[in-house]
Amino acid sequence: MKMRTQHTFFIILAQLLCSSIINATIGRPRGVSISMASLYQPAEDGTFTCLDGSSKIPYEYVNDDYCDCNDGTDEPGTSACPNGKFHCTNAGYVPSNILSSRVNDGVCDCCDGTDEDAGRIECVNNCKDLGKKLREEQDRTRKLQQEGFEKQKAFSEEGKRVHEEKIRRQAELEKEREILEVTVKDLETAKLEAESPETEAKDKHQKAWDELKAERQAKKESEAASVAFKELDTNGDNSIDLLEIIAHSEFDIDSNGVVSEEEAKEHLEDKERVDSDTFIKDIWPHVKDIYKKPSTEEPPPEVDPSTEARGEEAQTEQIEPPAPGEPPSPPDEVDEEGEYDDDEDEDDDNDVDEPGVNDQTVPTVPIAGVPTPGSMAGEPELIIDKPGEEKDEESMPDYDEETKKLIEAADEARKNYDEANSKLKELDNELSSIKSYLEQDYGPNREYAILQDQCFEYTDREYTYKYCPFSKGSQRPKSGGHETSLGNWGNWAGPENDKYSVQLYEKGQNCWNGPDRSVKVHLKCGLEHRLLSSSEPSRCEYAFEFETPCRCSQPAGGTAQPHDEL
C-alpha cells in the first residue's frame, strides 16, 4: 500500500466498500458469473488465490483497479487487466462475457448496463426487450423445426419401410435364383445336346453343298478353259504354240507393247506348244485372269454412195395396214444380193416335204393355257422357268426333313435356355440394385433415402447448378452448352460430432492445369428440399447449400427461454 498514491487509496477504499456491498448482496465480486462465484470467496487467512495458482493476494485487492494476477483474474470488474474478462449478467436476456478493456469505456456493452458504473454514461437496461424478441424468434424457429422434424420422421419411417421391403425382396430373389440357376444349367445341357446332332447334320449338308459347288466351279473352269483353248488355237491344230500366245497383247508382261518369245514361253511354262489337256490343267489357272476373249464385233459395212439416196427413199416408204379381217402380209423375201423378191413361187402350194428335207422344227416354249403339240399327244412337256422364278445356283438348297427336325429341336432348346438365362440376368441386376441400396448410408434413421433419384437446380447470373443426392453435382452455362461434372457421390464429410451435415462429391471434370472438380453440399433444416446457393471457396472446389426436412432434429421441449442468472 505504500506504493499507491493517496488518490488511489481513496479510490480503492470506495471500490472495496462497493464491492463489499455487492458481495453481500449477490455473494460474488462484480463481473463474476454465478458459476465462478465459489472461486472468489476469501480464504480463512483473508487472501485470494489467482485462478492460475501463480500467487496469493489480500482479498481486498480484488477489483481494486490494479492488476495483481498474471492471468488478470483479480480484476473481473475493472479494466485494469488487459487479459481480464467481465461477465454481463443480462437478466432477462442471454448472459455474455466481454473484454475487461470495455469496462467503463463509455460504451454500453451489456444490455443491463453493468459494465458502465463509473458515472460517465447512463446505460438503459433493455435486456427484457431483447429477451422478448429472442423468445419470439426462438418460437418461430422451434415451430419450423418441429414442422420439419415431423416431415423428417415421415421420411425416416418411409426409408425404414423401404429398407425392410428390400431385405424381404432380396431374400425372395436369392431363393428364386437358386432354383433358376439349376434350371438354367439343365437347359444349357439340353441345348448343347440338341445342338450336337444339329451341327453334325448341318455340317454334313454344308460339306455336300461345298463339294457340289466345287464340282460346278471345276466344270465351269474346265469349260472356260476349253473355250479359251479353242479361241487361242487359231490354226485349229489342237495345240497352242508360242506364235498364238504372241498374237495376244494381254500376255505382254513388261508392258512394252510387244509379247516377246520369252514372255510367251513363260506363259506356256517354258514349252514350245501345249495340247488341250496340258493347257486346261497347267496353263489356264495362271492365265485365266489375264486372258481376254477376242472381239466378236465386226466393222460396219461400207455404204455405196449410189445406193445411199435409194436407202433414204426406202425409209420414207409407208406400208399400208391390212384391211379389217385380213391377215398381215408376210415380209418380202430378200435374195442373196439383197434385192426384194416380189414374185410369188407358183409351186409353193404344190411343195411336198420329202424325208430329210425341211424337217427341222423350231422348239416351242409352252405358254400358260396354250397346249403344245407334244402335250396334246400325251408327251411330257418341257417347262422353262420364268426368269423371276429361276433357282439361284449359288444358293444352298434346303435341308432335308430330318435335318429340319433337328434344327427345330435345337431352336426350341436355345429359346428355352435364352429365356431362362435372360430372366436370371434380370434377377441378378435387381439383386445388385437392392444390394447397392441396402449398403448406402442414408442417415442414422435412413431419412435421406427420400432424396435418392431426385435432382435439384439453382441458377445464378452465369450458371445453372444441378445437385442429384447420392449421385452427382454439375453445372452448365445459363446461356446453354455442355454440362460440366463437379463430382460424383463420395461420402458423408461432416465433422466427427455432426457427420451428416455435409456431403462430398469428388472426381469431377479436371480443371485446366488444376485438380479434379469437387463439391461439398452443406445441409440445413428447411421445410422443403431446395438448393439455395452455390459458391467456389477454392479453385475448382465448390460448395452448395441445400435445405431439407431430413436435416431437421427434434426441438427442445417447451418454449426456449434465455438463461437468467437472477
What residue type is assigned to position 231 of the chain? E
Spatial separation of the C-alpha atoms in residues 521 and 457, rounded to whole Å: 13
pLDDT recorded at residue 169 = 97
pLDDT over threshold 70, residue 68: yes
For residue range 127-147, what is the model confidence (pLDDT) as tens digits? Answer: 999 999 999 988 888 898 899
From 99-103, 266-270, 279-283, 559-563, the region with the lowest mean pLDDT = 559-563
Please give the share of the chain, as a percent, with pLDDT higher than 90.
56
Q: Please tell me the predicted confidence (pLDDT) of residue 533.
A: 96
Picking from 545, 456, 449, the residue whose alpha carbon sits closest to that of residue 502 is 545
**Is there a domain that residue 482 lies in?**
yes
Say if 462 falls within a structural domain.
yes
Residue 289 backbone dihedrals phi, psi, to 5 degrees: -85, -10
Distance CA 339, CA 335 (A): 5
Tell me, yes or no, whether 517 lies in a domain.
yes
What phi and psi, each to the nearest 5 degrees, are found at residue 503? Answer: -115, 145
DSSP, res 40: G
Residue 204 lies in a domain: no
> Is residue 344 one of the residues assigned to a domain?
no
All cell numbers assigned to 415: 429359346
Whether residue 484 lies inside any domain: the answer is yes
Which tens digit of pLDDT belongs to each residue from 217-232? Answer: 889 889 999 998 898 8
- pLDDT reported for residue 315: 47
Per-residue pLDDT for 459 more than 50?
yes
Is residue 373 over pLDDT 80? no
Containing 535, the helix (H) or strand (E) segment is strand 530-538
Query: Would you place residue 121 in the very low, low, confident or very high pLDDT band (cuts 50, 70, 90)?
Result: confident
Q: What is the mean pLDDT of residues 77-96?
A: 92
Number of domains in the chain: 2
Q: Is this structure's pTM higher than 0.75?
A: no
* Residue among 434, 437, 452, 441 at smallest CA distance from 169: 434
Read off the CATH number of the domain in which 521 is found.
Answer: 2.70.130.10
CB of 102 closer than 8 Å to CB of 115: yes
Q: Which residue has the cell 435341308?
A: 399
141 within domain boundaries = no
Q: What is the pLDDT of residue 350?
A: 45
Residue-wise pLDDT tens digits, 313-354: 444 444 455 554 555 555 444 444 444 444 444 444 444 444
Query: Where is the domain boundary, 74, 100, 124?
Result: 124
- pLDDT bin (cut points 50, 70, 90) of residue 270 is confident
pLDDT tops 90 at residue 455: yes
Q: What is the DSSP letter of 279?
A: I
Q: What percent of the chain has pLDDT over 70?
A: 76
Tell whether the model's pLDDT for residue 274 goes beyond 50.
yes
What pLDDT does residue 249 have? 87
Q: What is the pLDDT of residue 296?
A: 66
Q: What is the pLDDT of residue 322?
A: 52
Q: Is the pLDDT of residue 95 over 60?
A: yes
Instruction: Taking residues 368-384, report their average pLDDT.
Output: 38
Write the Ramachandran bin of 372: left for phi over 0, alpha for psi from -120 to 50, otherwise beta.
beta
Question: Looking at residue 28, what is its pLDDT?
Answer: 84
Q: Of 81, 97, 124, which residue is a domain's last?
A: 124
Q: For residues 2 and 10, give the distance between their C-alpha atoms in angstroms, rounded to a whole number.
A: 13
Task: Please give the mean pLDDT across all residues of the chain.
Answer: 82
On the question of pLDDT at 521 being above 60, the answer is yes
pLDDT at 344: 45
Average pLDDT over residues 61-65: 93
Comparing 139 with 23, the larger pLDDT belongs to 139
- Residue that finishes a domain, picked among 85, 108, 124: 124
pLDDT of residue 297: 62
Pick the more confident residue, 124 or 317. 124
Using one digit for the tens of pLDDT, what is the confidence trace for 397-420? Answer: 999 999 999 999 999 999 999 999
Residue 250 lies in a domain: no
CB 470 within 8 A of CB 159: no
- Distance between CA atoms of residues 214 and 156, nearest Å: 76
Tell me what pLDDT residue 314 has. Answer: 45
Expressed as residue numbers, the domain containing 70 is 26-124
pLDDT of residue 346: 44
* Residue type at position 176: E
**Range with lowest mean pLDDT among 74-88, 198-212, 300-314, 356-370:** 356-370
> DSSP letter string over 351-392?
--PPTTSS--------BTTB--HHHHTTPPP-PPPPGGG---
Cell digits for 99? Answer: 473484454
Give the pLDDT score at 300: 62
Q: What are phi and psi of 193, to 5 degrees?
A: -65, -35
- pLDDT, position 305: 54
Taking only the tens place, the pLDDT of each residue in 236-253 is: 899 999 888 888 888 888
pLDDT at 480 over 50: yes
CA distance 90 to 75: 20
What's the pLDDT score for residue 369? 38
